[in-house]
Chain A
């Protein structure tokens, strides 16, 4: 099951020393002792981990392990009952989506969450919401500061469209696009926020080999060229092993391993969790 799907494009050059240059010691996000439950269901139990500036951090685990719940805690959709989140040095018991977004956390969703009625362009433009400052009145008459601002944002959005190679679907309503392209537009919307921390929830789910290679390439480029820190949930082990610097493994809401891809791969707990050894509780 593990590491047998060689789907991802290999990182450029000798990966070891590239990693050293990319990642700083600075910790962007520190999650301490988080517990989250819904009624009697314990989604996350006492999980702690951190994300360093510039790294690609993978979160893996079987279905229902609490991976998506963890992302939802990080960007404030869920409020954990216990634990703290320290983002950019500021400690909180719970994030709020608006604060997460305004302080540079962007994300994509497991089941593509695009604005289906809007074009690709408008979807990506919506990622600029927080960067738009001119008053509503100026915008209403489309004149003065509002006009200059719109042009500047549009330019940035066009750069993202070029980067993701989706020029030809610029005006297409996203509801009509095939799944793989929708995922790419969703990544574009997150990139339009110029995030410092990008949360990707299964960016390659349901993609074919070629689409996975493209997506892997984009993720590597975002990380290396834009210097964006990435937290990534993915089921394709080949992708995870190739892309990530450190891997956090969750199972039944608990952390069972944390380390480099090689360390995690050899961990007996991880192998058990994936092969389904019965949990003696």
Chain B
């Protein structure tokens, strides 16, 4: 029983990590109707930049000067500054020319951004796996271990708290301010939004800055868990089933979707094989790697029966 509980908790925490990445996708999608393929790479780039600043690595040469290393409290705002600068440059060079373009063209531009950023990350900061030392809580929670004999990683609990705070702030920002209405307007119709005086440029910079900051949070959490490495950009792929499950337009959906997939794939990995073996006597060896494909299978089922996801907007169209 304890083992089941530990599995579920561990699944929940992995789910929170997925949710953090999925959140970045939902933000851009809600705000612009655009699927941002670069979200995973943004997280990677933010993580690399933070690591570079904290260790005093010289961009491009990768030489480390420890005397220039920034403390955490300075490096994080500086990284946020870099992400905002990136948003401004991206708006100036690309988004400005994308008014009223088809969704697929916007999507392709983010694909381009993903490759450019991945390359830039490599050139500027180097491609080796980096260990991010932020002084975040680590290891098992002694309290739970001694009193309940439960193994729970403190870092994962911390990630959960961060996710809750982030979602609350974002939900207020997008639902209660005029910025929220303006963003939804831009997502629906660029020209109409411009005609009522919404500045598309300001909106793009805001949206991409927020996406960059969410990416930083995701990058820090994943980085602290498993180091900052280029495979981080592939976590974006795991966020896709999360989005299909939760609905592309729903912030709560990204959270719940992440949790369901996190828990689901852990349980499936551990129990499916044994259950099938016990019930039918199958040698269910193939189910041992189920963690890798469970999420995609679940997404497929959702696409068939509930394409808008659990919380997504139902698509209304007069024909």
Contact = CB atoms under 8 A, between A and B. Distances in A.
B188 A173 contact: no
B197 A101 contact: yes
Given A122-B181, A139-B178, A129 B196 contact: yes
Nearest to A124: B196
Label chain B's interface by main secondary structure.
helix
A115 B192 contact: yes
B316 A173 contact: yes
A142 interface: yes
B226 interface: no
A142 B191 contact: no
B196 A130 contact: yes
Give the size range of A's interface with the partner: 20 to 34
A261 B242 CA distance: 61
B33 to A, nearest CB: 10
Interface in B183-197: 184-185, 187-189, 191-197
A115 B178 contact: no
A126 B195 contact: no
Interface stretch (B15-23, B118-126, B169-177): B169-177
Contacts of B196: 101, 106, 126-127, 129-130, 189, 193
Given A98-B199, A101-B195, A113-B191, A175 B181 contact: no
A109 B184 contact: no
A93 to B, nearest CB: 19
Contacts of A116: 188-189, 316
Contact of B177 (A107, A115, A136): A136
19 contacts: A98-B197, A101-B197, A106-B195, A109-B191, A115-B192, A116-B189, A117-B188, A118-B184, A126-B185, A127-B196, A129-B197, A136-B177, A139-B177, A140-B176, A141-B176, A175-B318, A176-B318, A189-B192, A193-B197
Interface of A: 75, 77, 97-98, 101-102, 106-107, 109, 113-118, 122, 125-127, 129-130, 132, 136, 139-142, 173, 175-176, 178, 189-190, 193
